[in-house]
Amino acid sequence: MRTRPAIAFAVILTALGSACIGVNPNSSYMRPASANWDGDPVPRDMGRVVFVRSPASAGAFPIFDEGGQFLGESTSGTRFTAIVRPGQHYFIVWGKGHTESLLANLAAGRTYWVVVSPRPGLWAATRGSQLVKEIPSYRANTRLMLPDQAAGQAYLDSMKDEVAKAVRDGIATYSAYPDEDKADATLHPSDDESRW
């Protein structure tokens, strides 16, 4: 039986720490899935992004797109899946006093991985064998969560002005990266798991 390893795009957050907006280690916006499986087929006209977070990190980070659409909340030892339309997106990670973004160019019918990991320093990407080796461990050692879209979106909508500013700040942060750092914070259509 052939197994297909997954490619992961590791996003290293600046030190957002536990002082994040919406910090809630037991997120009100996520609930455990009844099964720990995220391998269902991707809808042919959509893309799938799996956001995964190591158990060795603290805090909760709301993640939304450039339109302020709630995707989920990244908490320690969890992963969640967002089904998004193909094309270009900014994924915004929001922390108190600091916002970052990842530029993603997604293809329909494909799955992409983003590893959310709070650490000091600029966001960076790790593609290839090192992260491919870690995906089975992430699947085994993280719990699949389901976003409560209504509650998460209501939370963001209650802070519409702050969310709009977070989107602007996240995109500006991405735009200000030097070219080599910008390359590390960009997800390309070919970075999907089928490549590996």
Q: Say which residue the tokens 């939304």 belong to.
A: 64
Residue spans of the domains in the chain: they are 9-188
CA dist 94 and 21 (Å) reads 7
Residue 192 has pLDDT above 50, yes or no: yes
With pLDDT > 70 as the criterion, what percentage of the chain qualifies?
A: 75
pLDDT tens digit sequence for 1-60: 333 223 334 443 332 333 333 333 458 899 998 886 766 788 999 999 988 887 777 778
Look at the block and give the residue holding tokens 């990266």: 177
- Reply yes or no on whether the pLDDT at 161 is more than 90: yes
Quick: pLDDT tens for 119-143. 543 333 444 445 667 778 888 888 9
- For helices 149-157 and 160-176, give the axis angle rounded to 10 degrees: 90
